Amino acid sequence: MKNGPEVSCHHVTTPRTARYYCALPTDAPKRILLVCHGYAQAAADFIQEILPAAGTDQVIVAPEGLSRFYRKGFEGEVVASWMTREDRLEEIADQQQYLDQLVATLYGQFGVLPLSVLGFSQGVPTVCRWLAHTLIPIQQMILWAGMVPEPEYMEVLGHKLDGYADIVLGDEDPFFTETRERHLEEAVSPWFAQAQWHRFKGGHQISPELLSRICK
């Protein structure tokens, strides 16, 4: 038995500055594609993977996760994460507020344009939880090489999107065994009867050619 005062955990919400990267179209903007990177990626690098798929009228926006760290210990490349298992509910709430505020900023700059959202890897559960929560209308949701979150989010999201989503996997993705792919299908199918499943030859990466076709 420990002696001394009892220690308890508390939370306080504090403002913080988030960053995002934006690529403007060559023509008048008619739609927004918001893309959320995966674990241990940087938004500045991730948006470069998306740009080859960009249409001439599409604003590409890549928000960066709120938690940054050095990829290799104490120095070198700085990358980001959306969340860990610690304080996960608070981190989910922070993400939702962040992404809502970002879209409001974009609407103020470009007008209320049709919005497509792509989540890659860890970005998949991030965008699913956000889109299940937000009141912002979404034209298209693309889930790329990631597992979806808890059923309660997917049920809400399935109703909001009328059971439609684009789901993408590489046929050489080391993170998706046959078992894991089956678990993904089982988690998605009850709520997304109209889901379009896409495959490409490649690993845990973006295929600009396929993304360009999906976004048309």
- The answer to whether position 4 is within a domain reads no
For residue 150, CA distances in Å to 26, 61, 167 come to 39, 26, 17
- The answer to whether position 179 is within a domain reads yes
Contact indicator for 130, 97 with CB cutoff of 8 Å: no
List the domain range (segments joined by +) for residue 70. 22-215
**The pLDDT of residue 2 is above 70:** no
- The answer to whether position 31 is within a domain reads yes
What CATH number corresponds to the domain at position 115?
3.40.50.1820
**The pLDDT of residue 4 is above 90:** no
- The answer to whether position 175 is within a domain reads yes
- The answer to whether position 151 is within a domain reads yes
Sheet of 115-120, strands arranged across: 20-23, 58-63, 31-36, 115-120, 140-144, 166-170, 196-200
- The answer to whether position 197 is within a domain reads yes
- The answer to whether position 88 is within a domain reads yes
- The answer to whether position 7 is within a domain reads no
Contact indicator for 155, 70 with CB cutoff of 8 Å: no
> pLDDT digit string (tens) for 105-157?
999 999 999 999 999 999 999 999 999 999 999 999 999 999 999 999 999 99
- Count the domains in the chain: 1
